[in-house]
């Protein structure tokens, strides 16, 4: 029983620290920039795969 409570407490501490870190990054707008950059990269990859698919369909 003690170990379960300890695990739950550790998990709560980790989640709290992670949430504080996310809020800190978001307030500095770094996180937003990272998300936007990730979406741009994803869009580029999708365009690349679409081009690759068109080329493969020619043969």
> Cα separation of 43 and 3, whole Å?
46
> Cα separation of 8 and 15, whole Å?
10
Tell me what the mean pLDDT of segment 31-37 comes to: 76
**Contact yes or no for 25/31 (Cβ under 8 A):** yes
H helices, E strands: number in the chain? 2, 0
Mean predicted lDDT score pLDDT of the chain: 78
Longest dimension (CA), the chain: 65
**What's the total number of domains in the chain?**
1
pLDDT value, residue 15: 86
Q: Is the pLDDT of residue 32 over 70?
A: yes
pLDDT value, residue 1: 55
Query: What is the domain extent for residue 13?
Result: 2-58
pLDDT value, residue 31: 66
More confident residue, 59 or 41: 41
pLDDT value, residue 57: 78
């Amino acid at each position: 029983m003690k170990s379960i409570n300890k695990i739950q407490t550790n998990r709560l501490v980790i989640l709290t620290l992670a949430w504080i870190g996310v809020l800190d990054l978001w307030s500095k707008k770094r996180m937003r920039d990272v998300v936007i950059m990730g979406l741009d990269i994803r869009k580029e990859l999708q365009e690349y795969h679409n081009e690759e698919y068109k080329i493969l369909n020619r043969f």
